[in-house]
Structure 1
Amino acid sequence: MAAHRVICWDCGEEVDDPFVNTCPRCGGLLTVKMDLEPVKEMKPEDLRSTPIGVWRYAPFMPVDPAHKVSIQEGGTPLYTTAALGAEVGVKNTFVKFEGLNPTGSFKDRGMTIGVSRANELGAKVVGCASTGNTSAALAAYAAKAGMKCAVFLPSGKVAMGKLAQALFFGAKVLSIDGNFDDALALARKMSEERKLYLLNSINPYRPEGQKSVLFEIMDQLRYNVPDRIILPVGNAANIWAVYKAITELQEVGWIDKVPMLTGIQAEGASPVAQAFAKSSETFVPEENPETVATAIRIGNPISGRKALKAIYSTGGYATTVTDAEIISAQQLLGRKEGVCVEPASAASVAGLRKLRAEGIIDRDERVVCICTGNGLKDPDTIINNCAPPIKCGNSVADVERALSE
C-alpha cells in the first residue's frame, strides 16, 4: 500500500487497527498522514500521462492501485460561467460540476478509495448510513467489487433518485425509524461489532478520495490558485478533504497560495455556520434539521470541527442560505448555464450570490463553486418548483396559442 499513517486528529496517537474509525485512546476522529517525500521529486505534469480522474493522483492516495475498485470517477468539468458570474456580480466564476461522476455525485471520489481500501483489507461486507448520495455510490462500488452492501437510510428523508440507485445496484436497503444521525449510530454499532466495514466519512480513507476534487481544480486551472472555493456543507467531510489537499500541495511545493474555503449550509441545518458566526471551534448539534436540500440535512456533522478548522485556517467564511435561496440558485444555474444540480449543490451558488450582495466576496475574486450532485437525483423538487406542462391541442394553431400565452 502507499506509505501513510493513520493518526488521531485530536490527540495525535497513531492507530494501527485498520477497522476502527475513532481513536481507541481518546475517541477522537482519525485522519491519514501521507508520506509525500516521493512526490516532492515530481512535478504536476508528471501525472498527466494518466487520464484525469481520482487515480491520476495515486501518489497522494493511501491505497495501493493494485487493489483499485474504479468505475472511472472524477474528471468532471470545470465550467467557466460568464452568464452566472454577470448575474451575481463576480465575473470570474467557475462551477466544478460533480454531478457528472458515475453515480451522479462527488461521493464516488471517496468511494473508489474507501472500497479499494476495503478490498485491500479483504472485507466482504460494506455499509453506510446515508441521506442518499453516499448509499448510491457505495452500492455501485460494492457491486463492482463483488461485496455485499447494507445501507441505512432515514425513513422518508431520501430523494427518490438516490433510493432508486441503491436498490438498483443491489444493496440491502434498511429504512431506519429516525433521522440521519440515528441511522449513522446504528451503522457504527454494526461496524464496532465487526459485522461490516463502515464507509461513512468517519472512515479516514473516504476523505482521501474526496480531496481529489481540489487536485483536479488545480490541474484544470494549471495551478493558478483561485481566490476562493465555495462548498455546500452537510456532514462536512468534503470541505475538510479540500483543505487537506491544499496542505498536501503546499507540502510538495506545487502551490504557494491558499484559497479561502467558504462553507454554505441550509438555514434549517446549520451547526457549522452557527459556530462560525460565534467564532467557535466547536459546534452545537441540531436535533431536528430540516431543509429541501436533503443531501445536507444533517444536524450533527461528523467532520464539523474539521470543517471549522479548514475555514479558519484559510481565512474563509461560513454562512446559511434559505430553502428559497437554494431553489432560486438551482434555477439560475440551470437557466443561465444549462447545468442541472440538486438542491444541496445549489447551496454553493446561493452562498456566492448572498456573500457578494453582502460585500463579503469582492467582484474581482476568482471563485470556484463546487456543485456536488446531479439534479436528477431529486426530480420531485425540480418538478414541484417549475411551472407544469402546458395542456395543448393537437394542431399548429393550438401550439401557437399555447406558446403565445
Structure 2
Amino acid sequence: METTAAFRGLTCTECGEAFDAEDAPHRCPDCGGILDATYDYDAIDLTREELESRPFTGMWRYEELLPFTRASCVTMDEGATALVEAPDLADSLGVGRVLIKDEGRNPTGTFKDRGHAVAVTAAVQHGATDIALPSAGNAGQSASAYAARAGLASHVFLPSRSPFVNKAMVNVHGGDMTVVEGRIDDASERYKSEMEGEDWYSTATFETPYRHEGKKTMLYEIIEQLDWEVPDAILYPTGGGVGLIGMHKAATEFRELGLIDELPPMYAAQASGCAPIVKAFEEGNDRHEPWEVPDTICGGIEIPNPGASPLILDAIRESGGGAVATDDDDILDSAVAVAQQTGVEMGATCGAAASGAWELADRGEFDEDDTIVLMNTGAGNKEDDILRSHLMGLGF
C-alpha cells in the first residue's frame, strides 16, 4: 500500500488492538469494533507557515495527516470549499459572526466526496474490483462517482424515499442500484444479505475506517479559513456522525501538532422525530438507545441506530459542545431562511444545523462575540423538492 510516512495503521476504538492496514481493511477482526487510522505525530513537521504556503486547492494539501499519498489518491479535487460569512444570521442569533461551511461545492454536491476519496483509494490499494454500501442517498451517489473515477464497479442500496437526484446519478455514474422499499435500515438489511458470498469492498459508514479520515479535513480548512482562530461552536447535522467524529479527531490532531490550543465545541443537530444522540446526551448516557419510530422528512439524518454513538457522544462532551433537536418545520424554515438571507443553497436536511443554532441561541447558549460555524453538508438542489413543497404548504 502507498501510505504516508506517519501513518501507522489501524486501532480498534473498542478493544484498543492495533492492526496493519493491509490485514484489517474494515471492522476489528477481534471484537467487531470500529477501526481508526493512527499516526506518529512526532514524525509530522507541519507548521502554520508551511500550510499557508500551499495552494488552497483541495483536501490532499493535508497529505501528512491522511493515510494515503497524494500520488496514489482517487480524487476529483474535493475539498477547499468556501466558508461564507453570514452577517444577517449573526444579527438574528445575537453573536459576533456566523459562517457557513458550504460543502455543496464538492464534486457531487456533498461532503460525502471527502470520505469516498479516501475510502475508494483504500479499495484500490486493497485490489478491489467492486465497492458496495447502503445509503440514504448522497453517499451512494458519491460512491458511484468515485468508483467510476477509479474504474471500479459500485453496488448501491438505497431506500425508496431517497431523493430522485441520488437515484438518477447512481445510474448515470454506472452504478448497480438496488432500491429497497422502506427506510435506511431496510436498505442496510438488503445490503448485508447481498454482501454474503460476494467479494465486494465495503465503503459503508464505519465499516470502512477511512470515510471519517477524509471528512476530518473540513475542520483543518475551517481553522485555516478563520486565520487559526478556533470557532466557539460548530453545528453539524447528525445522522451517523461520520463528519462530526472526523472533525473532532482533526481538532485533536491540530492541537497535538501545536497548531491550535483548544478544541472547538461540536454540536450534534438532529430532527426531533429521530434524535437518539440528543436523547442519550441529555440523559447522560455513553451510548444511544435505538429510536423506535423514526419520523422526519430529513432522510439524511434519519438514522435511528447510529452504531458510532459512543464516539459521537465522546466528541461533543470532550469538546465542550452539546446536542440539540428541532422539529421538521423549524428545520425547513431555517434552510429557506439561510437561502433568502445569505444566498447559500442549504440542503433541507442541513437546515438542522441552522435551526439548532437558533434554538441554542434562544436558550442563551452563545455569547454576543461568539463565532459560530454551520455545516452545510449538501447542496440545496439535492432536496429542492422538499424545500419547494414546504414553501407551497406555507402559501408561497
Q: In which range does the TM-score fall when normalised by the shorter chain?
A: over 0.9
- How far apart, CA to CA, are the structure 2 residues paired with 1:265 and 1:240? 15
C-alpha deviation, 1:20, in angstroms: 4.6
Distance 2:388 2:287 in 1: 38
Q: Is the 8 A contact 1:67 1:119 kept in 2?
A: no
Out of 26, 39, 46, the residue aligned to residue 42 of structure 1 is 46
1:18, CA displacement in angstroms?
4.3
The residue type paired with residue 368 of structure 2 is R
Tell me which residue corresponds to 2:229: 224
2:285 alignment partner AA: S
8 Å CA contact 1:20–1:192 kept in 2: the answer is no
Q: What secondary structure, in the 3-state scheme, does the structure 2 residue paired with 1:275 have?
A: helix
TM-score after normalising by structure 1: 0.92
Q: For structure 1, which segment, 361-370 or 315-324, has the greater mean C-alpha deviation from structure 2 after superposition?
A: 361-370
1:304-351 alpha-carbon deviations (Å, 9 max, x no partner): 221101001111110101001101101110110011111111111110
The answer (yes or no) to whether the contact 2:25–2:209 under 8 Å persists in 1 is no
Aligned to 1:175: 179
Q: Is 2:133 the partner of 1:128?
A: yes
Alpha-carbon offset, residue 240 of structure 1 = 0.5
Q: Which residue of 2 aligns with 1:166?
A: 170
**Which runs of no fewer than 5 residues in structure 1 stay unpaired?**
391-404
**Could you tell me which amino acid in structure 2 is paired with residue 187 of structure 1?**
Y
Shift of 1:262: 0.6
**C-alpha distance in 1, partners of 2:23/2:198?**
11
Q: Alignment identity in percent? A: 33
Are residues 55 and 303 of structure 1, via their aligned partners in 2, closer, same or farther at CA, if it must alter by over 3 Å? same
Which one-letter code corresponds to 1:302 in the other structure?
G
> Residue 401 of structure 1 aligns with which residue?
none
- The TM-score normalised by the length of structure 2 is 0.94
Q: 2:157: which partner in 1?
A: 152
- What secondary structure does 1:344 align onto? coil
1:255 aligns with 2:260: yes
1:321 is aligned, of 300, 314, 326, to 326
Corresponding position: 1:199 with 2:203: yes
Indicate conservation of the 8 Å contact 1:152/1:184, yes or no.
yes
| Cα offset, 1:119, TM superposition | 1.3
Task: Identify the residue that residue 107 of structure 2 maps to in structure 1.
Answer: 102
How many residue pairs are counted as aligned between the two chains? Answer: 388
Aligned equivalents of 2:292, 2:234: Cα separation in 1: 29
CA distance in 2, matches of 1:178, 1:375: 24
Rounded to whole Å, the distance in 1 between the matches of 2:210 and 2:196 is 17
Q: Match of 2:92? A: 87
In 1, the alpha carbon distance for the partners of 2:205 and 2:392 equals: 37
Structure 2 CA distance for aligned equivalents of residues 360 and 303 of structure 1: 26
Per-residue CA distance 1:347-376 (angstroms, 9 max, x = gap): 111100010001122232111111100010
Distance (Å, rounded) in 1 between the aligned partners of 2:376 and 2:174: 27
Task: Report deviation, 1:386.
Answer: 2.3
Inter-CA distance 43–194: structure 2 relative to 1 (3 Å threshold): farther
Partner of 1:215: 220
TM-fit CA distance, 1:30: 1.3
Distance 2:248 2:169 in 1: 30
- TM-superposed CA distance for 1:142, in Å, is 0.6
* Contact 2:93–2:361 (Cα < 8 Å) also in 1: yes
- CA distance in 2: counterparts of 1:121 and 1:383, whole angstroms: 43
Counterpart among 53, 56, 66 of residue 61 in structure 2: 56
Aligned CA-pair RMSD: 1.8
**Aligned mates of 1:166, 1:288 — CA distance in 2:** 29
Unaligned 5+ runs, structure 2: none
1:207 match: secondary structure: helix
The answer (yes or no) to whether the contact 2:83–2:101 under 8 Å persists in 1 is yes
Q: What whole-Å deviation, never above 9, does each CA across 1:238-285 have from its counterpart, x for those lacking one?
A: 110011101111111111011111110111111111100101111001
Give yes or no for contact 2:114–2:215 (8 Å, CA) kept in 1: yes
Q: Structure 1 residues 18 and 361 mapped into 2: Cα distance closer, same or farther (>3 Å)?
A: farther
Q: Deviations for 1:192-223, whole angstroms, at most 9, x for unmatched residues?
A: 64521111221111100000000010111121
Shift of 1:175: 1.0
Shift, 1:127, TM fit: 1.2
Work out which of the residue numbers 339, 343, 349 in structure 2 matches 1:338: 343
Distance 1:6 1:115, change over 3 A: same
Go from structure 1 to structure 2 and tell me whether the alpha carbon gap of 1:150 and 1:304 turns closer, same or farther (over 3 Å shift): same
Matching residue within 1, 5, 10 for 1:6: 10
> Any idea what SS the aligned residue of 2:263 has?
coil
The code of the aligned residue for 2:66 comes to M
